[in-house]
Amino acid sequence: MSQRDLAGLAAAHLRRPGLVMLAGAPGAGRSTLLRRIAATAGSPVFSGGGLAMLSAVPALALSRAVKARLPAHDVPLLAEAVRSRVRGGLLVLDDLQYTDAATLAALTHLSAHVRVVAALRTPHRLPAGTVEHLRAKATAWLDLPPLSPAEATDLARRTAPQLEAAQLEAVVARAGGNPLAVVTLTRAAGAGRGAAAGDIDQVAYAIATALADLPRPARTALAALGLLGRPAPAQLLGAGASALHEAGLVAEVDGGVVAVSAYFAETAAGLLDAEARVELHRALATVTPPAEAARHLAAAGDHAGAYRMALTAADRTAGAERGDLLLFACERPGVTVDPRVRLAAADALLGAGRPHAAARVLSTAAPLGVEADVLRGEALLQAGEPAAARDAVRPVPDAAASAVVAARDRILLLADLAADPPGALDTAGKIAARYPAPPPAVAAALAAVRAAHRVPGWETALQAAGAAGADPLTGRWSAWLLVGHLLADARLGEAAEQARTAGAVAGAGLAYSWQTRFLALADWADVLRGSRPADQEPSPADAAVRHSGDLAERALPADARSYALAATALVEADTGLLAAARARLAGPDTHPATAWVAREAAWLDGQPDRAAQPGTAGSGAGLLAGLRAITTRWAAFDAGGTPGGLPPQIPAGLPGAARSTLTAWATGSGFPAAAEAWSQVVLREQIRCLLAAGLRDSDPQQAVGALLEAEKLADQAGLVVLAGRARRGLRRHHVQRDSRSPRSGSRLTRREVDVLRLVAAGEPTRRIAGQLGISTETVDTHIRSGMRKLGARTRTEAAALALTQLEPARAPGPEGEGR
């Protein structure tokens, strides 16, 4: 129940004499609710309350309310003195926990003749008998519930509108629905962007004051929840759990106990002195699983114990979790780490796709042996430092074990491939002659060289290197190369299929980092291919955007994050959500995919000068290089010439469709053939070639035919901006198109508008459901309904179309979306 609803309920109970009690945790909004109730009283309001520092002063709260000295020595006389002054008014008392016995006793007398509303903070130190007596005399006892996720998000957004959705979600989760905690944490989160930190000290003081009223076991139990950071069994919290339940500070969830507000629990932990905190960490280490126990021991300063416990935990797990635990063990200060532990940590981290961490583990002053040399070389190679990788393995002699020598040769070959691709072919020939039956790692390196030069059969060789049963690290790396080369060659369907297969294998092996890389690359391939009308729901583009959006909210490797951002932003830009795409790509160029999409979005937005700007990330290779060059040609065309006055250059190593398109731009003809080359490859580029044909063909009939085909394909795929360009081109030929024909004309409901507005803001379904307080199924129903009414084929197109129908006051953001 919201505060507005509670205020209405309290007002209903206060139509006649009686006592309405409001109870809630510090910061739950008791004082705000009292003000709401007083504002609707329709009669004089007498407002007072207790004070912590003057809690022993008799009848202070009542004296503050009626602004008179009162006979506190006689409770019936005290009640009559207050009644005679309040009469038909409303008596409002805040902070009842700080009032004296005479005030509390007088309330039960007053409630028979006067309307009284009082707020009581929980926890408190009032005697249990007094509370039971108040409950018995109260007309209504209303416990203030925490804000719903939607209410908390709305409050946080109003407090710091500059925060991103992920930051708001984190604040809301930590605050636990407590309004004061929401405001405080939101201000603190926004402090780095110009918002003041606000009253965080006062909030911490208010929480500390409230926690001081808890029994010591309850304070310790709440502090334990703050240190744990997760739900805990009630038996772990001991005798304090029941007191926390009574105070409303914890709740049951999945058979455990969790703090209603993580912020409160963290504050309770912060109130412990250093010695008490160490003891609590030690105690928690005895009752938690080894992985958690290791971190509690480290927090208690017992790094040797934390090292041993982390090794115990690592022996019980695998994959990325094992790598994390071994890395944790290796980083314990003052502990002599066994070299075998370092080797095991590096191996696990490499398998999980964390090469920088693996290289760091093996960077020690003391030599670790040739096995460590090749592991460190592999880590540096994967981290993009081929020269350092070559230096790391040079000390490995030919007399070393055959597996070590093979690993050395693999790294030397791949380092040569990075530094001197033509020379790597000669090195590959020499290494192949040395290994009549090359071991898997060497075979994978030889396949990589063949793939880089597109030697016939390179796909089969890389697939064999990444097949099931291969060394996990070699298999994942080979699969990554295979997918990357397929993408560069514009074989997007094969790339997506191979990426999803490799991602499933990585996920089964608990290699989360590798799995997210493959999934992000698969989504990127799907978005580039584009979507045509399909019976499936959601559409391919929507599915890719939803998945990429979920990925982008997590802690991802740089490559995975860049591909996820690029996929989401490209669909947003193509469907008219240009402001959202710009905001998503506001950072510096760090990856060819995001660098191209940023320039493509600028071109779609009618900013050819920005679309033609050089970037720091480079243009990439293969397909990406071709797309970047094509966007540059379009920007030059829109600007009325070639950027910088230079003749257009066609990069080497492009897929056939990209080369055909750039050749058409260079010669001024051949766009229809280029469009056909993009068919079944990249839909949006097929449309752009048709647009170019329509804009540059001197034959009006052929130009109109190309534009009509471009409009049709763009409409079917929901590419709003490209469809608009096609219609503008048609108007030059005096062909008027009714872009409203597929829409039903029915008005959107308010809820459909709210849902589509959040879709336009980039929110996934689960967060829209949380913000609006509805189920995910209901969200999907509203989206489908909006799509039907607007004639949209994707949810992003529906969001863009909905924004064009909203009046400026309802449009999200200062600029709105699209053009």
pLDDT digits (tens, 9 = 90+) for 379-401: 898 888 888 998 998 888 988 88
Token pair in block for residue 293 = 């126990």
Cβ atoms of residues 40 and 85 within 8 Å: no
Q: Helix, strand or coil for residue 454?
A: coil
What is d(CA 191, CA 278) in angstroms, rounded to the nearest whole number?
31
Cβ atoms of residues 147 and 177 within 8 Å: yes
pLDDT band at 62 (very low <50, low <70, confident <90, very high): very high
Q: Which amino acid is residue 467, in one-letter code? A: A
Q: Which residues contact 255 (CB under 8 A, 6 or more apart)?
A: 233
Cβ atoms of residues 787 and 795 within 8 Å: yes
Q: Which amino acid is residue 660, in one-letter code? A: S
Please compute the mean of the pLDDT values over residues 359-375 and round it to a whole number: 88
pLDDT band at 734 (very low <50, low <70, confident <90, very high): confident
pLDDT band at 749 (very low <50, low <70, confident <90, very high): confident
Q: Are strands 140-143 and 45-49 parallel, antiparallel or unpaired?
A: unpaired
What is d(CA 92, CA 61) in angstroms, rounded to the nearest whole number?
10
Please state, for a pLDDT cut of 90, what percent of the chain lies above it: 11
pLDDT band at 274 (very low <50, low <70, confident <90, very high): confident
CA 539 to chain centre: 22
Q: Are strands 90-94 and 45-49 parallel, antiparallel or unpaired?
A: parallel
pLDDT band at 156 (very low <50, low <70, confident <90, very high): confident
What is d(CA 678, CA 627) in angstroms, rounded to the nearest whole number?
12
Cβ atoms of residues 504 and 516 within 8 Å: no
Sign of CA dihedral 168, 169, 174, 177: positive
pLDDT band at 330 (very low <50, low <70, confident <90, very high): very high
pLDDT digits (tens, 9 = 90+) for 792-810: 777 877 887 777 665 433 3
Please state, for a pLDDT cut of 70, what percent of the chain lies above it: 86
Q: Which residues contact 578 (CB under 8 A, 6 or more apart)?
A: 572, 601, 604, 605, 721, 817, 818, 819
Cβ atoms of residues 15 and 8 within 8 Å: no
Q: Is 649 exposed, middle or buried (0-12, 13-18, 19+ CB in 10 A)?
A: exposed
Q: What pLDDT is attached to residue 309?
A: 95
Q: What pLDDT is attached to residue 577?
A: 76
Q: Helix, strand or coil for residue 120?
A: strand
Q: Which helix (H) or strand (E) holds 251?
A: strand 250-253
Q: Residue 718: is its pLDDT beyond 90?
A: no
Q: Which residues contact 649 (CB under 8 A, 6 or more apart)?
A: 629
What is d(CA 704, CA 691) in angstroms, rounded to the nearest whole number?
10
CA 662 to chain centre: 38
Q: What is the largest CA-CA distance in the chain?
A: 109
What is d(CA 432, CA 436) in angstroms, rounded to the nearest whole number?
7
pLDDT band at 202 (very low <50, low <70, confident <90, very high): low
Please compute the mean of the pLDDT values over residues 314-329 and round it to a whole number: 89
pLDDT band at 305 (very low <50, low <70, confident <90, very high): very high
Q: Which residue has the higher pLDDT, 738 or 109?
A: 109
Whose tokens are 């308010």? That residue is 750
What is d(CA 270, CA 277) in angstroms, rounded to the nearest whole number?
8
Q: Of the given ranges (176-185, 315-324, 418-427), which has the lowest mean pLDDT? A: 176-185
What DSSP letter does each residue of 271-317 carry, written as one string? TS-HHHHHHHHHHHHTTS-HHHHHHHHHHTT-HHHHHHHHHHHHTT-
Q: Which helix (H) or strand (E) holds 710?
A: helix 700-717
Q: Residue 199: is its pLDDT beyond 60?
A: no
What is d(CA 292, CA 228) in angstroms, rounded to the nearest whole number?
8
pLDDT band at 741 (very low <50, low <70, confident <90, very high): very low
Q: What's the angle, vertex CA 574, arms to CA 570 and CA 575, rounded to 5?
A: 120
What is d(CA 729, CA 8) in angstroms, rounded to the nearest whole number?
59
From 189, 259, 261, select the one nearest 231 (Cα to Cα).
259
Cβ atoms of residues 761 and 580 within 8 Å: yes
What is d(CA 250, CA 244) in angstroms, rounded to the nearest whole number?
6
Q: Which residues contact 646 (CB under 8 A, 6 or more apart)?
A: none
Q: Quick one: residue 94, left, alpha or beta (phi over 0 = left, psi -120 to 50 = alpha)? A: beta
Q: Which residues contact 86 (CB under 8 A, 6 or more apart)?
A: 44, 46, 65, 66, 110, 114
Q: How far is CA 692 from CA 310, 567, 681, 687, in A?
A: 62, 24, 18, 9
DSSP H stretches of helix in 575-622? 578-584, 592-604, 608-611
DSSP H stretches of helix in 453-557? 458-465, 472-488, 492-508, 512-529, 540-552
Q: What pLDDT is attached to residue 327?
A: 93
Q: What pLDDT is attached to residue 585?
A: 80
Please compute the mean of the pLDDT values over residues 340-344 and round it to a whole number: 93
Cβ atoms of residues 548 and 597 within 8 Å: no
pLDDT band at 332 (very low <50, low <70, confident <90, very high): very high
Q: How many helical (H) and strand (E) elements, i.e. helices and strands, does the chain have? A: 44, 7
Token pair in block for residue 260 = 């209603």
Q: Of the given ranges (245-254, 284-293, 499-508, 738-747), which has the lowest mean pLDDT? A: 738-747
What is the value of pTM for the model shown? 0.57
DSSP conformational letter for 742: T
pLDDT digits (tens, 9 = 90+) for 633-673: 888 888 875 443 444 567 778 888 888 998 988 888 888 99
pLDDT digits (tens, 9 = 90+) for 406-458: 888 888 888 888 888 888 888 888 888 888 888 888 888 888 888 888 888 88
Cβ atoms of residues 55 and 102 within 8 Å: no
CA 198 to chain centre: 25
What is d(CA 799, CA 28) in angstroms, rounded to the nearest whole number?
35
pLDDT band at 738 (very low <50, low <70, confident <90, very high): very low
What is d(CA 288, CA 294) in angstroms, rounded to the nearest whole number?
9
From 346, 417, 429, 361, select the one nearest 384 (Cα to Cα).
417
Q: Among the ranges 230-234, 405-409, 608-612, which has the highest mean pLDDT value?
A: 405-409
Cβ atoms of residues 593 and 624 within 8 Å: yes
pLDDT digits (tens, 9 = 90+) for 583-596: 778 777 778 888 88
Q: Which residues contact 293 (CB under 8 A, 6 or more apart)?
A: 284, 285, 286, 309, 313
Q: Residue 124: is its pLDDT beyond 90?
A: no
Q: Is 658 exposed, middle or buried (0-12, 13-18, 19+ CB in 10 A)?
A: buried
What is d(CA 718, CA 716) in angstroms, rounded to the nearest whole number?
6
Q: How far is CA 490 from CA 529, 617, 658, in A?
A: 9, 20, 9
Mean pLDDT score of the chain, rounded to an integer? 80
Beta bridge partners of 118: 21, 93
Q: Which residue has the higher pLDDT, 818 or 294?
A: 294
Q: Which helix (H) or strand (E) holds 772?
A: helix 765-772
Q: Which helix (H) or strand (E) holds 807?
A: none
Q: What pLDDT is attached to residue 147?
A: 81
CA 133 to chain centre: 49
Whose tokens are 């040609």? That residue is 633
Q: Residue 743: is its pLDDT beyond 60?
A: no
Cβ atoms of residues 155 and 163 within 8 Å: no
Give the chain's length.
819
Please compute the mean of the pLDDT values over residues 281-295 and round it to a whole number: 89
Q: What's the angle, vertex CA 12, arms to CA 9 and CA 16, rounded to 5?
A: 145
Cβ atoms of residues 703 and 693 within 8 Å: yes
Q: What pLDDT is attached to residue 542?
A: 57
Token pair in block for residue 503 = 């991602």
End-to-end CA gap in the chain: 41
Cβ atoms of residues 766 and 514 within 8 Å: no
Q: What pLDDT is attached to residue 736?
A: 62
Q: Which helix (H) or strand (E) holds 699?
A: none
Q: Which helix (H) or strand (E) holds 616?
A: none
Q: Among the ranges 260-269, 651-660, 734-743, which has the highest mean pLDDT value?
A: 651-660
Q: Residue 200: is its pLDDT beyond 50?
A: no
What is d(CA 518, CA 510) in angstroms, rounded to the nearest whole number?
14
